[in-house]
Structure 1
Amino acid sequence: MIQPPGFELSTNAQSIYKLHNALYGLKQAPRAWYSTFSCFLLSQGFKNSKCDSSGFIKKTGSIFLALLVYVDDILVTGNAAHHIQDLVTQMHQAFSMKELRSISYFLGISVATSSSTTVLSQKKYAQDILTKAGMLDCKACSSPISAKPGLPPNSNLPFDNPSVYRSIVGALQYLTITRPDLSFAVNQLCQHMHNSTVGHYVGVKRLLRFIKGTISPGLTYTPSSFDLHAYSDSNWAGDAIDRKSTTSYCVFLGSNLISWSSKKQATVSRSSTEAKYRSLAHTAAELAWIGMLLQDFCIVPPTVPLLYCDNVSAIALASNPVFPSKSKHIEVDCHFVRDQVLANA
């Protein structure tokens, strides 16, 4: 350890300061705060969720409280208003906090509630991205990505400001929290963080133009059943450079979309069946995790989760205990989906 710039002691250059309290802004500050706050919650009868370390659950008879913490942003909910208020009062006594009452804005996500719907959107965040890119007044377009893009002649040249590319694409990743329609396009752009070219930045600008024309939509949640089902798909050898496939899935709780993903597979698939089967494995793992998370919230789906796939061979492979010769090379972890089917989980 050395003395920080601007605080050197010329008389005793070997002296350093020992911190008795974590300072906000240091790398270890969030961990120190989480340790302190989690100890307080555990003393109040909460239990840390095994599925998500940022979630805390308290169940006492018919009383249920749930708390979500992200650094210094805290969200509390439950089925007993007076117990929530008691918890908030105790938190005020232990920490210096600001109470914002009913949720309307959390981690850059706007929350609008009514008697029958809850709408999550990131309109302000999207506007900030457009402002950052200097495209707040750009012309809108109708699709986030072009199947056959018309690239400029210098499209293969390195982009002269790669830090701007990484900054904008990184911000777009967070926008997909309420915009599943952007997931595939953002995933494509994220694959070129280390070697962005002029052509790649053209793709960023097209996506920003699409966001400009669809800046208001978000996710709408309505009362529904607790039936859990998912849709899985992949595009076999969709990447023209390395011929890897892209896994995509979306998970619904009743009629409400709660999870989605679009990600390139780590290895090359030798057939469309293998690509679809790998996608099934990723989706099955997500379904299993969500099922455990629902149990923490005292929610038991009334039916066995359903996983939909449009490939007959992949479906047969998921339920067939015999290894066909064409599937012997598939990694063992991909057969997790087979175990889930056999366990009827």
Structure 2
Amino acid sequence: MNTAYKRRIPTNRLVAMAYSQMTSNNGNWLLDTGANAHVTPDLQNLVNPKEYCDIPSRDYKNNMHLTQSKYALDLLEHTKFTDVKPISTPVPTGHKLSQYDSEPYSNLEQYRMVVGALQYLTITRPDLSYAVNQVCQFMHMPRTIHWITVKRIQRYLKAMYDHGLVYTPGNVRLNAFSDADYA
């Protein structure tokens, strides 16, 4: 059984935040349709986005800016990357990782912790998505070359730690589709 619904709220602009989450341009409410997607949304599902997922938002000139800069700086401090030389790209052009390129990396716990933290940053940092996806593919058995790539991503993060998503007011049309039969 497929279900679809349409809701129009004339005073607020809807934008997709992550997966099935929606927020308004004025930052007053957020709608999470995750596990309750079969329920028609109502006002009891609305929460303040500043308290959602620990992602702070700033209002600047009628725009909403979502950033995880404090989280990024905490990660750089934890991994002792606060004094590294920043770079302008997270991966070099034409770089392809392989599971056979170098010897196995010895500190699996460190690799998984840092890559997991980088993966959390991709919520507001789509520029990191490709690079982080590449190193995530080797979580089961990382190699030294993969750790070198993770360090390069952190050097990029050092240069761009305050970047995030900016939502500006305007006419937005949101289309959402769901396949309820997929399970």
Which residue is 1:170 aligned to?
116
> Aligned pair in 2 of structure 1 residues 121, 224: CA closer, same or farther (>3 Å)?
same
CA shift for structure 1 position 114: 4.1
Unaligned runs of 5+ in 1: 1-47, 59-64, 69-74, 77-102, 230-286, 293-332, 334-345
| Correspondence 1:184 to 2:130 | yes
Give the partner amino acid of 2:65: V
CA shift for structure 1 position 115: 5.5
RMSD: 2.8
> Aligned pair in 2 of structure 1 residues 146, 139: CA closer, same or farther (>3 Å)?
same
Matches within 5 A, 1:214-225: 214-225=160-171
| Correspondence 1:135 to 2:24 | no
CA shift for structure 1 position 52: 1.4
Distance, in Å, in 2 between the alignment partners of 1:108 and 1:220 is 17
Which residue is 1:159 aligned to?
105
CA shift for structure 1 position 128: 1.3
- Whose helix fraction is larger, Structure 1's or Structure 2's? 1
Q: Name the SS of the counterpart of 2:57 in structure 1.
A: strand
Give the partner amino acid of 1:52: G
Report if aligned partners of 1:105, 1:111 keep a CA contact under 8 Å in 2. Answer: no
CA shift for structure 1 position 147: 2.6
CA shift for structure 1 position 227: 2.4
Give the partner amino acid of 1:127: L
Report if aligned partners of 1:189, 1:203 keep a CA contact under 8 Å in 2. Answer: yes
| Correspondence 1:144 to 2:126 | no
Distance, in Å, in 2 between the alignment partners of 1:67 and 1:115 is 28
Give the partner amino acid of 1:288: F
> Aligned pair in 2 of structure 1 residues 162, 143: CA closer, same or farther (>3 Å)?
same
> Aligned pair in 2 of structure 1 residues 66, 186: CA closer, same or farther (>3 Å)?
farther
CA shift for structure 1 position 178: 0.5
| Correspondence 1:201 to 2:147 | yes
Distance, in Å, in 2 between the alignment partners of 1:124 and 1:66 is 30
Equivalent of 1:122 in 56, 62, 68: 68
Which residue is 1:288 aligned to?
177
Report if aligned partners of 1:145, 1:185 keep a CA contact under 8 Å in 2. Answer: yes
Deviations 1:20-70 (A, max 9, x none): xxxxxxxxxxxxxxxxxxxxxxxxxxxx97x51267832xxxxxx2535xx
| Correspondence 1:109 to 2:55 | yes
Distance, in Å, in 2 between the alignment partners of 1:188 and 1:137 is 25
**Comparing both chains, which one has the higher relative contact order based on Cα–Cα distances under 8 Å and sequence gaps of 6 or more?**
2
CA shift for structure 1 position 166: 0.5
Distance, in Å, in 2 between the alignment partners of 1:192 and 1:112 is 35
| Correspondence 1:52 to 2:52 | no
